[in-house]
């Protein structure tokens, strides 16, 4: 999926990465920008939880594909917190960094969905911290009701920042 791109310095940017626009952007109030923005959820591996997150938080379910031309251009990458999920997330971030993602997509954040209840083992926690050093990371805890297909009810505790980002915040409270 490599496209011809000019290689620049080997650097990582933290936060959303957008192609430069035709002119200066006007500052927007963060709450207004978040409410107006729509997202495409993109799984970095099978079983990441894209469909569940799109159903619960809103937005476009892209599955494991890059968003199509009619889908929102703002991307939230999704991965589980097991070793292969975190490795897949790192590969997807690298694809963005190298310009291998389709032109016009904005990488906004990485959403990590717990692969099991409880705390992460130290090696996985270190991997999460490495990822968080190059992109904003939102964590979603293990939700037993989601496993049973019950996507209603309150949003999981600790996901308020993700709810604000996606505009799903009114379900908290």
Domain spans in the chain, listed from the N-terminal domain onward: 38-164
CA distances from 130 to 62, 85, 106 (A): 25, 14, 21
CATH of 38-164, one of 1.10.1220, 1.10.150, 2.60.40, 3.40.50: 3.40.50
What is the SS3 assignment for 134? coil
Contact 53, 78 (CB under 8 A): yes
What does the pLDDT read at residue 170?
57
What is the rounded average pLDDT of the residues 148-153? 91
How far is the C-alpha of 74 from the C-alpha of 86, rounded, in Å?
21
| Residue 31 pLDDT class (50, 70, 90 cuts) | very low
Region label for 146, one of left (φ > 0), alpha (ψ between -120 and 50) or beta (otherwise): alpha
What does the pLDDT read at residue 140?
97
Q: How many CB atoms lie within 10 A of CB 115?
A: 19
């Amino acid at each position: 999926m490599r496209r011809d791109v000019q290689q620049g310095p080997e650097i990582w940017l933290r936060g959303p990465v957008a192609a430069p626009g035709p002119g200066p952007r006007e500052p927007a109030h963060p709450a207004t920008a978040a409410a107006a923005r729509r997202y495409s959820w993109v799984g970095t591996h099978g079983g990441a939880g894209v469909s569940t997150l799109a159903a619960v938080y809103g937005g476009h379910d892209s599955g494991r594909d890059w968003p199509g031309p009619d889908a929102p251009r703002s991307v939230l990458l999704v991965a589980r917190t097991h070793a292969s999920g975190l490795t897949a997330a790192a590969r997807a971030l690298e694809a963005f960094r190298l310009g291998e993602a389709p032109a016009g997509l904005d990488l906004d954040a990485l959403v990590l969905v717990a692969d099991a209840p409880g705390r992460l083992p130290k090696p996985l926690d270190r991997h999460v911290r490495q990822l968080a050093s190059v992109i904003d990371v939102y964590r979603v805890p293990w939700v037993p009701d989601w496993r049973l297909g019950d996507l209603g009810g309150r949003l999981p505790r600790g996901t308020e920042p993700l709810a604000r980002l996606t505009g799903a915040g009114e379900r908290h409270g």
